[in-house]
Amino acid sequence: MCENNCCFTKTLKLIDVLQRSSEQDECFDNTCSRPFLGVNIPSLCFNTRPITFYGCNNNLITVNYTTVVNGETLTGESSIFRVEKVDDGCLTVSVLIPNPDTADTLRPYITTNNTATINLSCVCVLKCLPDTIVDL
């Protein structure tokens, strides 16, 4: 079971803190544990570190979603998430989907109104995607 000392829990708590206070100026490294969001460009403030998860059976974890974008209902399956809360080996995430407005390169994902809870004891791989901006 993944407890408070689990490497995923520590990393996800760091991501949660970073997303809640997403204005850092220093650049340290390019891993999931780096203590800021985005690249070292002070004029551009990122608010999300998108992540994907793989289960212990090596399957990508996906969640079904239904959301409305520009008056159109979109449904599908997504494997891209935003950390919302880390608690006792469980993770609450918002489901992100690719932005249908492909011209908006600063916002490659949009947030759906869908959330999911992931049991971290069922996760073997956490993959961070490039930091970005999402409308919350």
15 CB-contact burial (10 Å; exposed 0-12 / middle 13-18 / buried 19+): buried
pLDDT for the residue numbered 121: 87
Question: Is 111:69 a contact under the CB 8 Å cutoff?
Answer: no
pLDDT for the residue numbered 28: 41
Q: How many residues does the chain have?
A: 136
Predicted TM-score (pTM) of this structure: 0.79
What does the pLDDT look like over 53-91, one tens digit per residue? 999 888 999 999 999 988 999 999 999 999 999 988 899
pLDDT for the residue numbered 4: 47
Higher pLDDT, residue 37 or 71: 71
Nearest Cα to Cα of residue 110 among 63, 61, 74: 74
Sort residue 71 into left (φ over 0), alpha (ψ -120 to 50) or beta.
left
What does the pLDDT look like over 20-35, one tens digit per residue? 877 544 434 456 766 6
What does the pLDDT look like over 94-126, one tens digit per residue? 999 999 888 888 889 999 999 999 999 889 999
